[in-house]
């Protein structure tokens, strides 16, 4: 018996049936056959592994029945493949890349073409044989192996040293739209001292931006430099302030948890704060703008050239907050004027205006009437003029 096959005794087989809540129909029939039929044992293992075909997902039983299938018939590649996956992902057993590799190798020897899974487990087991199977995977058209094989060659892992081949594989991956290949190239061109490569920041930033465009978002360095490249534009990266703002916004959770990063990304926060206040690359967001500018002005720069961004952030925040205060005051003044206008048109206010008009009309009419009386006009006419002045005063308010 193979050393990786676990003894699946009758007691454990019966317990598997008992653990299924109500084994009815096809499931019950399958469990009954599985004790002696390798195909049925595999089907049960598959059902437990993926939680399909009427089975609830159950790691222990998946591993048990995968072993049983191999024990009953070790000539079937798919039985070994499923058992290898159990070891690789720790399903019903401890993760063991060496045992996973052995099972997947048997599967390949029996005709399986999943060379990448075999090579990946060999790599995790630190076995140089993975290179042979990765080459076979890539040659057969399985592009999933491009990034791993490219990194092994480029970074000199497992005793390999073929940087030209590594770069070619990773560049092919980028052309095919593989984000990890782009990220591997970016890190290679950036981390040149570690890899003893000729550093090329422009290429590094290009590939960071490429990885971002291809959907990779989990690297603070990539987010930082993608934002810068997209904000300013380079010979290789088109200017796009929407993407710049998006990338730098995604950077925020990283520096919120890491003081070093907050000090390192001063430029990003200073510019992002302005973008949020001004509505560049997205809607106006004063709350976010203030948050980013405060982060920038409270940073402790590692480089002298970063100090200008600390100062700029402080000045810009003062300007924006001052502008907000001024606009707030103007708004309050306008509201006050509007309130006074509304009050002047109220019935009570109109009543006061009519009384004032009547008094003013009486005074003016009286003065005119007195003058006309002095020059000898009839008294009735003078009284009529006073009445008319009062009426006009009331109407005009």
**How many domains, the chain?**
4
pLDDT for 307: 75
Assigned domain for 326 exists: yes
pLDDT for 22: 43
CB 8 within 8 A of CB 64: yes
Query: Could you tell me the two tokens for 268?
Result: 């990003």
* The domain boundary residue, chosen from 43, 77, 110: 110
Assigned domain for 227 exists: no
DSSP assignment of 34-69 equals: HTT-HHHHHHHHHHHHHT-TTPPP-HHHHHHHHHHH
Tell me the pLDDT tens digit for each residue of 127-186.
999 999 999 999 998 888 999 999 999 988 998 988 899 999 999 999 999 999 999 999
DSSP assignment of 85-96 equals: HHHHHTSSS---
* The domain boundary residue, chosen from 110, 143, 177: 110
Cα distances (Å, whole numbers) of residue 150 to 114, 147, 339: 19, 5, 72
Whether 319 and 359 map to the same domain: the answer is no
pLDDT for 64: 96
The helix (run of H) or strand (run of E) holding residue 338 is helix 307-344
Whether 101 and 3 map to the same domain: the answer is yes
pLDDT tens digit at each of 397 positions of the chain = 355 544 433 333 433 433 343 444 678 888 889 999 999 999 999 999 999 888 999 999 999 999 999 999 999 999 999 999 999 999 999 999 999 999 999 999 999 999 999 999 999 999 999 999 999 999 998 888 999 999 999 988 998 988 899 999 999 999 999 999 999 999 888 866 655 565 788 899 999 999 999 998 888 999 999 999 999 998 789 999 999 999 999 999 998 888 888 888 888 988 898 899 889 999 999 899 889 888 888 887 666 666 777 777 777 777 777 765 454 444 445 544 554 454 455 454 444 455 555 555 555 555 555 555 555 555 555 555 555 554 555 555 5
CA 187 to chain centre: 21
Assigned domain for 118 exists: no
The beta strand positions in the chain, using DSSP E, are none
Whether 105 and 139 map to the same domain: the answer is no
CB 117 within 8 A of CB 110: no
CATH code, domain with 17: 1.25.40.10
* The domain boundary residue, chosen from 110, 142, 174: 110
Let me know the angle formed at the C-alpha of 146 by 145 and 150, rounded to the nearest 5 degrees.
120
Whether 195 and 259 map to the same domain: the answer is no
Range of the domain at 289: 238-332
Tell me the pLDDT tens digit for each residue of 293-325.
888 888 876 666 667 777 777 777 777 777 654
Round to whole Å and give the CA distance between 95 and 117: 15
Q: What's the alpha-carbon Rg for the chain, to the nearest Å? A: 41
Whether 70 and 147 map to the same domain: the answer is no
Round to whole Å and give the CA distance between 111 and 2: 19
pLDDT for 118: 97
Q: Does residue 283 come out as left (phi exceeding 0), alpha (psi in the -120 to 50 range) or beta?
A: beta
Whether 1 and 98 map to the same domain: the answer is yes
pLDDT for 193: 61
Query: Could you tell me the two tokens for 352?
Result: 């006061």
pLDDT for 54: 87
Whether 246 and 327 map to the same domain: the answer is yes
Whether 135 and 104 map to the same domain: the answer is no
Assigned domain for 338 exists: no
């Amino acid at each position: 018996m193979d050393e990786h096959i676990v003894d699946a005794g009758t007691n454990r087989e019966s317990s598997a049936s008992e653990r299924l809540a109500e084994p009815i129909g096809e499931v019950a029939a399958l469990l009954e056959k599985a004790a002696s039929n390798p195909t049925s044992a595999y089907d049960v293992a598959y059902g437990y592994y993926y939680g399909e075909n009427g089975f609830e997902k159950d790691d222990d039983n998946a591993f048990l029945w995968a072993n049983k299938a191999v024990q009953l018939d070790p000539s079937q590649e798919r039985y070994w493949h499923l058992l290898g996956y159990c070891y690789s992902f720790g399903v019903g057993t401890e993760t063991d890349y060496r045992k996973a590799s052995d099972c997947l190798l048997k599967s390949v020897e029996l005709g399986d073409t999943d060379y990448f899974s075999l090579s990946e487990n060999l790599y995790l087991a630190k076995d140089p044989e993975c290179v042979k199977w990765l080459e076979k995977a890539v040659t057969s058209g399985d592009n999933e192996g491009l990034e791993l094989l490219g990194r092994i060659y480029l970074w000199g892992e497992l005793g390999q040293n073929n940087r030209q081949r590594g770069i070619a594989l990773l560049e092919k991956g980028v052309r095919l739209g593989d984000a990890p290949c782009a990220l591997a190239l970016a890190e290679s061109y950036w981390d040149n001292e570690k890899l003893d490569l000729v550093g090329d920041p422009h290429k590094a930033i290009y590939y960071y931006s490429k990885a971002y465009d291809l959907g990779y978002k989990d690297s603070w360095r990539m987010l930082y430099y993608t934002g810068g490249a997209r904000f300013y534009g380079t010979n290789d990266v088109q200017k796009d302030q929407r993407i710049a703002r998006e990338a730098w916004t995604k950077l925020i959770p990283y520096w919120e948890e890491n003081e070093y990063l907050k000090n390192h990304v001063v430029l990003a926060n200073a510019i992002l704060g302005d973008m949020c206040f001004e509505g560049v690359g997205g809607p106006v967001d004063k709350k976010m703008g203030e948050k980013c500018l405060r982060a920038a002005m409270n940073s402790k720069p590692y480089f002298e050239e970063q100090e200008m961004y600390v100062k700029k952030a402080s000045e810009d925040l003062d300007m924006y907050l001052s502008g907000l205060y001024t606009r707030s005051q103007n708004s309050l003044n306008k509201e006050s004027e509007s309130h006074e206008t509304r009050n002047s048109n109220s019935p009570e206010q109109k009543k006061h205006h009519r009384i004032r008009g009547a008094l003013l009309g009486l005074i003016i009419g009286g003065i005119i009437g007195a003058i006309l009386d002095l020059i000898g006009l009839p008294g009735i006419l003078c009284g009529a003029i006073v009445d008319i002045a009062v009426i006009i005063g009331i109407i005009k308010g």
